[in-house]
Amino acid sequence: MSKGTVVLAYSGGLDTSCILVWLKEQGYDVIAYLANIGQDEDFEAAHKKAESLGAKKVFIEDLRAEFVEEFIWPSVQANAIYEDRYLLGTSVARPCIARRQVQIAQREGAQYVSHGATGKGNDQIRFELTCYALYPEVKIIAPWRIPEFYTRFKGRKDLMEYAQAHGIPVPVTPKAPWSMDANLMHISYESGILENPKSHAPADLYLMTKNPEDTPTSPDLIELEFKKGVPVKVSHLKDGKSKDTPLEIFSYVNEIGGKHGVGRIDIVENRFIGMKSRGIYETPGGTILYHAHLDIEAFTMDREVRRIKQGLGIRFSELLYNGFWYSPECEFVRHCIEKSQESVEGKVQLSVFKGHVYVLGRESPRSPLQRRAGQYGCTGGLRSLRCVWLH
């Protein structure tokens, strides 16, 4: 008799394929769930593979549009950045993926969810906090924290043998000497040969961005239009091409950023769990939006509101990094940040060239600067009162 049904966050790779079979061995019915959040993946092949391994059901879910609108956009509003450098591309995808997973679990009557995250990283936390927040009764099976599992599978070799023994297709290409996480927003690279913080990243590591040495020798000029702090349109200033839905806008700035090698960083960050970890990230579109939003925000927002909001943005970034998207405090902070964005409206013109983003100019119907010549003295906003009072 079945122990119950588990919805497994399935990637199609060796680890989660083994977990799928192992869960069945343990007596569970397994529903495989694979989220499309923009990673480069053969989803159809993954679907077939999961079925062939004995998944009771398989769900391939296209979450790209909601990923941009409900997760990336609030991060843009917040100028979300962790420890001054990391744009949180992995962190922001986790609650989006886990939310759908528990929705499936609830709809399908599954009491369990499972994932292949290790016991040392941030992702297990981000994943599980979301599950508990949205489906408090759920039970989580985290094989990499279960002794029977992790003592049996001590390394990749054990997984390979298990795969061969259980008819799980084994990867034919050798594993990259590092681990990756890819989605619409970024690709991260860490572990393996990258773990040594001193050694330089190999030139052929990056998949989303061109090497700036090989990018075009003249810039692309684009204009980003914002309303309430989120992009509503991107236009190319030369060819006139433009996009105006969230997914298209984000995909387009990704394309421009990738073409010009924008958004590569190599950092050591502090993980939730305590250790320091070297990570390499490429976030082409996110980097462009970060600079554009910073600019339109500084242009349109009251100075003192901006100071307070800056503090909230830092808090938001820490919460996001640590997996607390679905927490009372993160919901509170998002609400406040959203409120601060009401006047963040206007257009920013940017040049994208050789790995860098240059702001060229901006305009807004809402900026005090542009009303400066007006009747109210210095700025036309309340800040001018201080000015008036000072004199």
User: Active-site residue among 29, 123, 220, 295?
Assistant: 123
Q: Burial-class residue 198 by CB neighbours within 10 Å (0-12, 13-18, 19+).
A: exposed
Decide: 233 and 243 in contact? Cβ < 8 Å.
Answer: yes
Q: Which of 166, 114, 116 is nearest to 139 (CA)?
A: 114
User: Active-site residue among 11, 15, 264, 340?
Assistant: 15
Stretch that binds a second copy, among 43-51, 54-62, 154-162, 302-310 (CB under 8 A): 302-310
User: Does 383 help bind a second copy (rule: CB under 8 A)?
Assistant: yes
User: Does 115 help bind a second copy (rule: CB under 8 A)?
Assistant: no
Residue 271 CB, shortest distance to a second copy, in Å, is: 8
Q: Beta strand pairing status for 264-270 and 276-282?
A: antiparallel
User: Does 318 help bind a second copy (rule: CB under 8 A)?
Assistant: yes
User: Does 384 help bind a second copy (rule: CB under 8 A)?
Assistant: yes
Residue 211 CB, shortest distance to a second copy, in Å, is: 10
147-152: long-range contacts at Cβ-Cβ below 8 A with a sequence spacing of 24 or more? 149/22, 150/119
Residue 66 CB, shortest distance to a second copy, in Å, is: 22
Concerning whether 15 is annotated as a catalytic residue, the answer is yes
Concerning whether 239 is annotated as a catalytic residue, the answer is no
Exactly one of 181, 277, 281, 320 binds a second copy (CB under 8 A); that residue is 277
Concerning whether 188 is annotated as a catalytic residue, the answer is no
- Mask: binding to a second copy, 45-84, rule CB under 8 A, as x and -? ----------------------------------x---xx
User: Can you tell me the distance from the alpha carbon of 310 to that of 291, in angstroms, rounded to the nearest whole number?
Assistant: 15
Exactly one of 146, 180, 232, 294 binds a second copy (CB under 8 A); that residue is 294
Residues 6+ apart with CB under 8 A from 123: 90, 94, 115, 117
Residue 187 CB, shortest distance to a second copy, in Å, is: 17
Exactly one of 9, 98, 312, 352 binds a second copy (CB under 8 A); that residue is 312
DSSP 86-126: B--HHHHHHHHHHHHHHHHHHHHT-SEEE----SSSSHHHH
User: Can you tell me the distance from the alpha carbon of 98 to that of 111, in angstroms, rounded to the nearest whole number?
Assistant: 15
H or E element, residue 145: none
Site for a second copy in 335-374 (CB under 8 A): 335-336, 339-340, 349, 353-356, 358-363, 367-370, 372
How many angstroms separate the Cα of 272 from the Cα of each of 26, 301, 320, 325? 31, 32, 11, 14
User: Can you tell me the distance from the alpha carbon of 174 to that of 297, in angstroms, rounded to the nearest whole number?
Assistant: 46
Decide: 224 and 292 in contact? Cβ < 8 Å.
Answer: yes
Q: Which of 201, 210, 194, 303 is nearest to 255 (CA)?
A: 210
Stretch that binds a second copy, among 4-12, 45-53, 164-172, 212-220 (CB under 8 A): 212-220
Which lies closer to a second copy via its Cβ, residue 15 or residue 297? 297
Residue 131 CB, shortest distance to a second copy, in Å, is: 9
Exactly one of 62, 218, 241, 365 binds a second copy (CB under 8 A); that residue is 218
Q: Which are the catalytic amino acids?
A: 15, 94, 123, 179
